[in-house]
Structures are given as structure tokens and as C-alpha cells.
Amino acid sequence: MAPGLDFSDWGAKETRKGTPVVVKMENPNYSVVEIEDPDAAFRPVDKSRGKNAKQVTWVLLLKAHRAVGCVAWIATLFWALLGTIKKRLIFRQDVGMASEKLGKGKLLFTVIKAFLVTSLTILAFEIIAYFNGWHYFQNPSLHIPRTSDIQGLFHLVYVTWLWFRADYIAPLIQALSKFCVALFLIQSADRMVLCLGCFWIKYKKIKPRIKGNPFKSNDVEGSGYDYPMVLVQIPMCNEREVYEQSISAVCQLDWPKDRLLIQVLDDSDDESIQCLIKAEVATWNQRGINIIYRHRLIRTGYKAGNLKSAMSCEYVQAYEFVAIFDADFQPNPDFLKQTVPHFKDNPKLGLVQARWTFVNKDENLLTRLQNINLCFHFEVEQQVNGVFLNFFGFNGTAGVWRIRALEESGGWLERTTVEDMDIAVRAHLSGWKFIFLNDVKVLCEVPESYEAYRKQQHRWHSGPMHLFRLCLPAIITSKIAIWKKANLILLFFLLRKLILPFYSFTLFCIILPLTMFVPEAELPVWVICYVPVFMSFLNILPAPKSFPFIVPYLLFENTMSVTKFNAMVSGLFKLGSSYEWVVTKKAGRSSESDLLAAAERESKTTNQLQIQRGASESELTELNRLKAAPVPVKRVNKIYRKELTLAFLLLTASVRSLLSAEGVHFYFLLFQGVTFLLVGLDLIGEQMS
């Protein structure tokens, strides 16, 4: 029998539960190891010493199983992504109607596609050259090996490309990039001056003020203020979603009823919408509101033609001021009392413009980015120009005009799609002054879909260039001061309407990707990173809650420069799409007050509605049927190929730059490309129902 090995007494110092176990072996095969102290037997043992071949095999099999599972998960995810893209492409075939209207812009998209194919081909050459160690340009002397040193046809093609790139392509890109960088710095300086002017206004608390309080009296009729005659116009066209809330808001304006007339200028070609608007006007007319409905049989000139037709009415001659609100605008009841008194004792004041505020600014990423741009436009551009120059572009709505200023400036003209900017420029040339009220805000909507936003931006950027062609002779020959002419031509039109979209598209969407394939023309880090980020920081200052979106804002603006540049070119050269007007689709978002008013109206009984409208039961039934929400059309997840092509191009350019990365800005470019792609996918997702 083998001797018993009992170690229970060795650790007597420690208290251990359980019964000691004695192990006895009949055929002992062991060696005696000398242990210096009792605790040594219970010390941790190196695990690797106790592993045998079978254990190692099981560990390797387990790791291989995990790796295979990870690969399978990635493959499943990739397959699902491909399936989703396939479905979206199939669905897109059913939405060809909208794409047919965009056929005029296919040329630019074809150029971008060709540029992408060329870039990918060059990228393949660059990757192969990189992994084969063909680094010819690490030496500034640009040493190119002799032909006798070159082995292989592919190597010869690559070296030929390097020579052609260095001698012919790089100088052209460098010259164009220097020109665009100079324009970029000029525009950044202009933006800095505007921001400094805004800071000065805030610091000095400068703003237009009304002398005293003309409405301070217990008896309104006994107050010293002589209420002028005010005409309110609401132009609209097929505005089913928003007509009711805009008419309701305007009819609740706090102004003597006998001194106020509301014109609903309906250009709708849908008879059902016409019936709804007529019924709404009749409802408010029964309540004692002085409101009329106008519908043109010949719908020419878009919004300008609609306003021109309304101003030609004989009864308009009895009114002194006209306030204009688009169909989605909801002014507060005290709007006229905050704006009209500014005209008193200021005979050369032609326009009082209020600020827009947005009821759906937090609806999605697109509305948040639009809110950043529009807040800067009103808080900085409009306010600074109004305080220091008494001139800015009329925003087309939420403003009050002196009718005499409109008449002396030539009235509404149908020659462009930016009739608001047109009348503002002509009024400025006639010597009229403008006031911008940053603290008077009017609720409205911004487009919630990318398609509507893109069409709106096309109109906003093609119209000014078309107008510039028409107004340039009148500006030069006008009698205003030379510095005002310079401000109109150099700053208002050229710098902010032409140069801005030109350098944004050329520098960040053409030259930046090209420099990844032509390293000799590489842009400085401050041009592609530091200055754009700083300027984006300034743009977001008027909307501080939007700071988390600074990077998507910067990148999205660069991507949108394609649409803006295309629109600018079409307006400058008077192409077919420069006079294209598409009504911006509204979602019909309501403010809290509108919702309460709607609930109050819904609580009325059918009998009360019958009395107010003087309608029969069958007519009410028909009206309710028309007023019901239309059958929702299935919204399709459209893929905007032009924007995603550009995003993919910048992404591949960033990957190429990482192959020769020597600075952190290349990682920023990679992040830029990825964010472009994510923003594009987010905008695509907004088209889903």
C-alpha cells in the first residue's frame, strides 16, 4: 500500500470547512518535491504549465467557433443591407414622376458620375502602387526613374501617370485652389464683419423703437393713435394642410375691424381645395371679419402675378399699408400693433420686416440644419443690414409695406421667381428705407422632406442671379450713393449670391477630392478643417441649442453646394430651370394656440355651423368630406443619387489620403466622408412613411 498523503495539518493556521481527504494510490508513480513552507502548496500555479495538447486543441476550436460566428454575423448584416438597398431601388421605379421633371439637371449628375469612375480607377492605381512600395514623391526633387529601370507594363503606366499629373494636372489644380481659397477668405471676412456687427448691436442694445406707447388708453376709440387703413394679403396655392390655421391667425389680429381688410388670394387649381377655402372665408365673414376671397382664372406670374392682380383692385386705393403672410404663417394678434407704428413720423420708411420662427424646427435632422441657417440669416444678416444700411432683402412674407413705396418702385413684377428681392432692390434704388424687427416673431414651417428643401433652395439661388442680370443696368444708372451701389453689386449679389455657392462647390466638392489623388496640390489643414469649423461655429451662435449638430451642419452644407451651384449657374445664364416655381410642400404643423382654437371649433355643434354658414345638411356633409384628411399616399424611400455619389466620392478620397497620412487632418477627412454618408442616409430615411 502506498503511504497516505495527508496535507490537512499544513494549513492549520487557517480555518477551512469540510473533512480532510486522504488520497491513496495502489500503484504509486510520483516524485517527492521538497516544500520549503506549508503555504507554497496552495499558491497559484501557472496555468500554461498544466495544459496538454487536447486542451490547447479545444481552446483553438472555441476561438475558431467564435470567429466563424462573428464572420457569419457580419455577412448576415451585409446581406440585409444589400436587400434593403435593392428594395429601395425597386420602390424608386414607382416614383419616376418626380424624377422626370429633374431631367434638365442630369448633365451635372453625369459629370459627377464620370468623375467618380475616374477617381475610383485612379484610386485602384494608387492602392496597388502603395502596397508595392512605389513611393516616388517622398523626395521633393520629384525624381522619376528612367524607362530602363521600369519593369512591367503596369509600372510604366503608373510612372507615366505620375509625370502627367505633376506637370499638367497639379499646376491647374493649384491655380484654381488658390483662387477659391482667396474667395473663401473674402467671404469669411464678410461673415466675420457681420458677426462683429451683431455683437455690437447686442452690446449696445440697438433696435428700432416706437416712441412712447400710442395704444396706452383705457378707451381704444379715445386714444390718441389714429389707426391707419391696413390691407392683409394671404397668397396661397393648393395649401390644403395650412390654409385654415393661417386664415384663423390673421383673422384674430388686434386691429379695428373697420380699418382692416383681409384678402385671401387663392391660386389653387384643385376645386376641392377652393371649396374648403371659400367655406373658411365664409365662416369668418359670418363672425364679422372683413375678409374676401379672390381666385384668378388666368394664373400667370406665380406669386408675383397673384399679388399684382390683388393690388389692382379699386378699393385698395383707400389703404395705406399692406401686410403679407404666406399660407403657413401664423402671426400673433399684436403683430400690426408692433409693426405699423414704426411708420409714424418716418415718411421714407417703406418696409418693416419681422423675424420668422419655426414650429417644426426639431422635427428631424434636416429641419434642425435649416434652423441654423435661417437663425443666422435673421439674427445676423438681416438685423445688421437693417441697423447699419437700412436695406436688406425682403423675405416675401411677415412684413408690412407702405403701399406708396410699392407703387413708386414699379409694383410687383413677374420677371423672376424672387419677386420679394426684386421689389426690395427697386425700392432701395428709389430711396426707401427698411427696418428689421428681430423681437417680432411669426410662426411658420420649414420643409421637412429633402425633396421639398432642394426645390426651395434651387428657387432661392437661381432667382437672385436672374435678378442680378436684370437689375445691373438700373443699379449702375441709379442716383443712390456710390457706396450703396458697391454694396448692392459686390456684397449683396456677387459675394453672397454668386461667390459663396461657387467656391463652396469648387473648393470642397471638386478640388478637395482631387487633392487626394494629386498630392502635389494638397490643401492646407486650415483651409479644409480649422477655418470651416470656426465659421460653422459662428453660424451656430444664433441657435446655441444646435451646437451638437455642428459637424453634420458643416458637412451637409458642403454637400448641398452641388444643388446651390447648379441653381446659381441656371439663373446666371438664364437656363430653363431659372424660372421654375414649385410650391414648397407644408406639413400643417400647428402651435399650441392653434391647437386650442381648433379644439374649440370642433366642440361646436352641427346646428351652430349650419346657422353660421347658412348651409344645408347635404352641403355640410359634402364640406366635411372634403375637409377630411386625404388618403395617405405611401411615401417611398427615395435614393438621391447625386448627393450620395458625392458623399461616396469624398469617402473614397478620404480613404486614399489615409494611405499616405502624415497629419490628423486626414482622419478628419475620413470622418467627413463617413458623416456625409450618414447624413445622406438620414435624409433618405425621412422619405419613409
Annotated active-site positions, please?
A: 267, 420
First to last CA, the chain: 84
Mention every residue, 6+ apart, whose C-beta is less than 8 A from residue 278: 293
The residue whose grid cell reads 451662435 is 541
Question: What is 404-457 written as a DSSP string?
Answer: HHHHHTT----SSS-HHHHHHHHHHHTT-EEEEEEEEEEEE----SHHHHHHHH
Q: For residue 390, give the amino acid letter.
A: N
The residue whose grid cell reads 426639431 is 362
**Phi and psi torsions of 353, nearest 5°:** -105, 130
Burial class (CB in 10 A: 0-12, 13-18, 19+), 366: buried
Asked if residues 357 and 444 have their Cβ atoms less than 8 Å apart, the reply is: yes
- Among 153, 151, 158, CA closest to 124: 158
Q: What is the DSSP letter of 95?
A: G
Q: What is the Cβ-side half-sphere exposure of residue 368, based on CA atoms within 13 angstroms? A: 19
Mapping DSSP onto H, E and C, the string for 216-264 reads CCCCCCCCCCCCCCEEEEEEECCCCCCHHHHHHHHHCCCCCHHHEEEEE
- Among 458, 638, 680, CA closest to 96: 638
Other C-beta atoms lying within 10 Å of the C-beta of residue 262: 23
The rounded distance, in Å, linking the Cα atoms of 109 and 120 is 16
Other C-beta atoms lying within 10 Å of the C-beta of residue 70: 10
Counts for the chain of helices (H) and strands (E), in that order: 25, 7
Q: What is the CA radius of gyration of the chain?
A: 36
**Set of cell numbers at residue 123:** 484610386
The residue whose grid cell reads 484610386 is 123
Reduce the DSSP state of residue 330 to 3 states and report it: strand
The rounded distance, in Å, linking the Cα atoms of 233 and 326 is 8
The rounded distance, in Å, linking the Cα atoms of 395 and 248 is 22
CA-based torsion, 15, 21, 25, 26: positive or negative: positive
208: left (phi over 0), alpha (psi -120 to 50) or beta: beta
Q: What is the DSSP letter of 328?
A: T
85: left (phi over 0), alpha (psi -120 to 50) or beta: alpha
Reduce the DSSP state of residue 351 to 3 states and report it: strand
Q: What is the DSSP letter of 14?
A: S
Asked if residues 325 and 392 have their Cβ atoms less than 8 Å apart, the reply is: no
**Set of cell numbers at residue 682:** 438620414
The rounded distance, in Å, linking the Cα atoms of 390 and 431 is 10
Question: How do strand 291-295 and strand 321-324 relate by DSSP bridges?
Answer: unpaired
User: Within the chain, what is the greatest distance between any pair of CA atoms?
Assistant: 130
The rounded distance, in Å, linking the Cα atoms of 505 and 524 is 18
